[in-house]
Chain A
Amino acid sequence: MVAKNVPKIEYVPTICPYCGTGCGLNFVVKDGKIIGVEPWKRHPVNEGKVCPKGNFGYEFINREDRLKTPLIKENGEFREASWDEALNLVANKLNEIKAEDPNKLGFYACARSPNENIYITQKFARVACGTHNVDHCARICHGPTVAGLATCFGSGAMTNGFDSIMEADVIFVIGANSMEAHPLFGRKLIKAKKNGAEIIVADPRYTPTAKLADKYLEFKTGTDVALMNGMMKLIIDNDLQDEEFIKARTENFDELKKVVSEYDIDKVCEITEADKERLTEITMDYAKAEKAAIVYSLGITEHSHGADNVMCTANLAMLTGNLGRIGTGVNPLRGQNNVQGACDMGALPSDYVGYRKVADQETTDWFNNYYGTDLPAKPGLTLIEMMNAAHAGDLKLLYIHGEDPVLSDADITHTKEAIANLDMLVVQELFMTDTAALADVVFPAAGWGEQEGTFTSGERRVQCLHKAQEPPGDAMLDWKIMEQLAIRMGEDAHPEQFHYETSEDIFNEIRECAPIMAGMDRKRLDSPEALHWPCPSEDDPCQPLMYAEKFSRPNGKAIFMPQEHRGPVEVTDDEYPLLLTTTRILFHYHAAMTRRCETLDNEVKTGYIEINTEDAKELGIIDKEIVKASSRRGSIEISARVTDNIKRGIVNIPMHFSECAANMLTNSKSLDPKCKMIELKACAIKVEKME
């Protein structure tokens, strides 16, 4: 039967490529092209519901300006090139620099790409190029979580699943704006509240999440350690700690008790500018609850003391025995859709796949044996260190996959100078981003909807993606690009290590190398529920709750890691009197993809600086006025959004908009020594009227 004019239409289930909640949705594919999305009501995480990015975030996929051919820069301009030419050019350069010193090469993995691509990126850096200089954007996001929680618990991930929050009696949200940043997790907060939970939100801004709180605590950016230490002293003074839990399951309590004893409430309120009564109230509510959960995100991690902040949340949870049960836990909300996966895959200078440590000689020996390589047991450089090394002329080549550091790293001027210093910048991308524009060679990559693979969400749920359409033009799968490079680099690059028939083959190799994912058989994995790690065997149920019996440290106990308040690296002064924080907004996820989605772009076309009504009045600034914002790094012109929803003395610039880029102002010299995080959420600026 020949049917005339009838299109071929089908639904292809997939996982959203934006935030770490990991919502499911259906692609609508018409005659081989993705034309829309429809709800996937069967999906356990979001049940068919999505935020505006879920509804319109597909609109970039088939845009005309998708990169379709390799590009080579000649005389300051890009020209189209064949894959052969572009791959050979890069392969030769990699060999040249590798011969000099493999540690002059640097690799950024893409935390939005499927696990399989990321695994190959770190494998390429290590096996083909002989360096541990591979990292990704978790460094400037939840790196402190990984470092901090790994120190306290033995594993650096969220301790519970997302659904667990709905069973909590009290939820303490600090430095997280779930209603904008993880909306479908925010929904679970709404449901928890309907279930009778008390929601406490601590934030310098009165965000949409703060609006749904039962109790809101305004406090000063960068003072989280003091705040939480103050809470812990109050708890101990009132004898509300969980003695049984502390004795049976933790170590180092005495040290914690000693350190927090200095943080009496008046001193804490002076540092944090928090209201004493409100702070006391929320502390008692948290401590007295049967089941209390902590939720946090970048508000506490993107600081020079981010790891300290994270360890304080762990301390709080340990102190009150709120771990290892549904409705409790320490719940960091991972940013990118696959940043959890990027960490899991070992796109880290200090870890191989599955968090196996480079510095451990036995582990490095194992991998050298597995890959047929001769890698040293010495960790490589982090993102920031790579960029600094480039700036200093010590790093010669950067190969960046699906990341836009020119927009998202602190101090854009510094980033651009660093990049200019490189012998070669290779960028693998979907679009001509600010970073791609500075590249010497651009490789067009296949993107969301154009490949099979897996993403791992913030609750450690590993979910399958399905291919819905072909990539545009000559765009290629990331892992195939790297195979081609290895082949062209020759025998020493171990090209045979990069040959796979399908992405599933790559996943099976990952299972061999990473005990936490060993049990992830395809049948159970390729289902709406999928599987959570740790998943040690095919018999294991692979469920989200961790630490019910013991922690992941060698002796099975968690450890208190008391911290002292340090505050931001750059403090305000007479010249730069305002403290700048940077944020994300609901309608955009960074820039490359969502600003190219017509509906989302229409919703929020450009950036703004949020400034408190009183501060604005003092400066003579009115709403929507274009003002000049400057810091020691640079200055921008930006529209003012005058509002009561931000604390006096604090200003906020969403980081999505390169024409008024927040990171022109931020400070890259503000590293957290524990995890090399930069202080994206605190630097000193001034705001002035335009002349």
Chain B
Amino acid sequence: MSVKVNDKYYAYSADNEIKDEGEYGGVVTTIMKYLLESGTVDAVLAVEEAFDLYDAKPVLITEPEDIIKSAGSLHCGTLNLAKFLTKYLDGARDFKVAVTCKPCDAMTIRELMRKGRIIEDNVVLVGVNCGGTLPPVPTMKMFKEVYGVDPANVAKEEIAKGKLIVETKDGEEKGIKIDELEEEGMGRRENCQRCDMNIPSNADLALGNWGVIGELAGKATFVEVFTEKGAEVLNNVIDEKLVETAEPIEKGIEIRDKINNVMVKQANKQKEKDFAGTTGDILDVLNMYKEEMSTCMKCYGCREACPLCYCEDCCLETEGPEWVPGGYTPAAPFFHLTRMVHMADACTNCGQCSEVCPCEIPVSKIWATVNNKVKEIFGYYSGVDNGDEPLPFTEFKLPDNR
């Protein structure tokens, strides 16, 4: 078998247990197991259920038989693994790791690789499609009040054909259109609603269930290869007879593209709404959101949660001059301006900042508004391959007049 970049396949595990337990054929599980067993990586960074399916936690797996525990998608898994990788695993400096990543995980990891904070050679990015994640506590409330289902009785949740479908442990199913839910302020996280990357084309491989039709519907995964590294990995698992593949049905490829396009279109519509009323320039944005930002209690949560905020000696805490006076709340506007100026060019809209803000400041939306302007002016798209484009705040792009 000779897998190449841009190849597309239907794939499924050759191991029946994994095929049944895993999501749509268990290919992610099989790949991760293989990467560990073969010594290609020393560890796998994945997401696992902690207390229940609303409680996701990162897990660093070193034993292949533990991989199966992280199988299955957790729609309430809203965390960004780039933070864990950088902060607690030292950016994979000392060992090789494979990471299951949503598009926003992958985007953030790519930015950090660009800045040398994560060692690209030591990381395999096994990407999974994502249509958006759900905040745990509001989602439980929504299941109870809108779906009429006891959250403890939910076995599985699924986003398909524009609906959020809930399946209970008794086998009952109920689906409601995501649009309707989101109009009422429920549904996916705010940042997810404007996210235009559903297929992680910046990972080494991308896996998902869109476009799998025919005999293998529900039993296989749609795999797309994006890098040489990804091609080699897929090649190996096929050669080792751990994964079986089939040519994707042409119509299935079309369906996958269509679903993606529809979602991107929706995201762009949301962006228009989100970015309306401001030029997107930093000062204009600061002025537009000053009321929200003026409630900031200086918990530093946004900085702590942001994977791109990694300065060991953060200037928000320096002794002098006192840019942001210690001990005063609300935090000075300079607190937010400083963070903006440091990383708004690289912001990947992962939404961690908004999620942790105790004052309900829409941090992610504010940063995305500025980042949108960065895209417009500098043509730099964080998280994807920008070729030789310099990071806008790091380097001027000047004509080469040699």
Binding site for B on A (CB under 8 A): 1, 3-11, 13, 26, 28, 30, 35-36, 39-44, 46-52, 54-56, 179-180, 183-184, 186-187, 190-191, 194, 208, 211-212, 527-528, 585-587, 599, 602-605
Contacts and interface: CB of A to CB of B under 8 A. Distances in A.
B138 to A, nearest CB: 8
Contacts of A13: 50-51
A8 B297 CA distance: 34
Contact of A11 (B50, B301, B355): B50
A41 B137 contact: yes
Given A39-B301, A48-B356, A52-B300, 12 more contacts: A5-B42, A9-B60, A26-B57, A41-B137, A43-B137, A47-B138, A52-B298, A180-B329, A183-B358, A184-B358, A211-B330, A603-B298
A48 B359 CA distance: 12
Contact of A586 (B36, B57, B88, B329): B329
21 contacts: A3-B42, A4-B95, A6-B42, A9-B89, A35-B88, A39-B356, A40-B55, A41-B355, A46-B358, A48-B355, A49-B358, A52-B298, A52-B300, A54-B299, A55-B304, A190-B295, A211-B330, A586-B298, A599-B300, A603-B298, A603-B326
A41 B329 contact: no
B37 interface: yes
Contacts of A36: 87-88
Contact of B50 (A3, A42, A44, A604): A42
**Among B60, B64, B356, which residue has the most Cβ atoms of chain A within 10 A?**
B356
Given A1-B62, A3-B43, A41-B355, A47 B330 contact: no
B248 interface: no
B77 to A, nearest CB: 9
Given A1-B37, A179-B329, A42 B137 contact: yes
Contacts, number: 137
B144 to A, nearest CB: 12
Interface string B354-392: 011111100000000000000000000000000000000
Interface in B57-110: 57-60, 62-64, 76, 78-79, 87-89, 94-95
A36 B86 CA distance: 14
B95 A5 contact: yes
A190 B359 contact: yes
A56 B304 CA distance: 10
A212 B94 CA distance: 48
Contacts of B319: 602
Given A6-B60, A52-B299, A179-B297, A187 B42 contact: no
B136 A527 contact: no
A604 B137 contact: no
B54 interface: yes
B327 interface: yes
B38 to A, nearest CB: 10
Contacts of B60: 6-9
**Among A6, A51, A190, A528, which residue has the most Cβ atoms of chain B within 10 A?**
A6
A190 B88 contact: no
Contact of A55 (B50, B62, B138, B301): B301
Contacts of A187: 358-360
Given A39-B305, A52-B299, A527-B51, A6 B95 contact: yes
A50 B358 contact: yes
A476 B64 CA distance: 38
Contacts of B304: 55
Contacts of A55: 299-301, 304
A11 B297 contact: no
* Pairs of residues from A and B, 5 with the lowest C-beta to C-beta distance, nearest first: A42-B55, A604-B327, A3-B62, A49-B358, A5-B94
Nearest to B59: A10
A587 B357 contact: no
Contacts of A191: 360
A585 B327 contact: yes
B135 interface: yes
B317 interface: yes
Nearest to B38: A1
B317 A6 contact: no
A5 B330 CA distance: 43
A49 B78 CA distance: 13
Contact of B55 (A30, A212, A528, A599): A528
B64 A183 contact: no
Nearest to A207: B329
B329 A49 contact: no
Nearest to A194: B360
Nearest to A604: B327
A587 B136 contact: no
Contacts of B329: 179-180, 208, 586
B37 A604 contact: no
A587 to B, nearest CB: 6
Contact of B358 (A9, A40, A51, A604): A51
Contacts of A180: 297, 329
A11 B304 CA distance: 16
A1 B330 contact: no
Given A3-B42, A6-B62, A30-B88, A183 B301 contact: no
B300 A9 contact: no
A207 to B, nearest CB: 10
Contact of A50 (B55, B138, B301): B301
Contacts of B42: 3-6
Contacts of A48: 355-356
Given A55-B299, A187-B359, A42 B330 contact: no
A619 to B, nearest CB: 23
Nearest to A41: B136
Nearest to B330: A208
B295 A212 contact: yes
Contact of B297 (A40, A208, A602): A208
Contacts of B87: 36
Contacts of A5: 42, 94-95
A5 B39 CA distance: 13
A585 B295 CA distance: 16
Nearest to B62: A3
Contacts of A39: 79, 301, 305, 355-356
A599 B303 CA distance: 13
Contact of B299 (A8, A10, A183): A183
A266 to B, nearest CB: 36
Contacts of B355: 39, 41, 48-49
A1 B63 contact: yes
Contacts of B357: 49
Contacts of B136: 41-42, 47
A11 B43 contact: no
Contacts of B327: 585, 587, 603-604
Nearest to A30: B88
A8 B54 CA distance: 24
Contacts of A41: 55-56, 76, 78-79, 135-137, 355
A47 B95 contact: no
A47 B137 contact: yes
Contacts of B57: 11, 26
Interface in B201-226: none
Contacts of A52: 297-300
Contact of B58 (A6, A11, A56, A186): A11
Contact of A9 (B78, B88, B94): B88
Contacts of B62: 1, 3, 6
Interface in B184-213: none
A194 B362 CA distance: 13
A191 B87 CA distance: 32
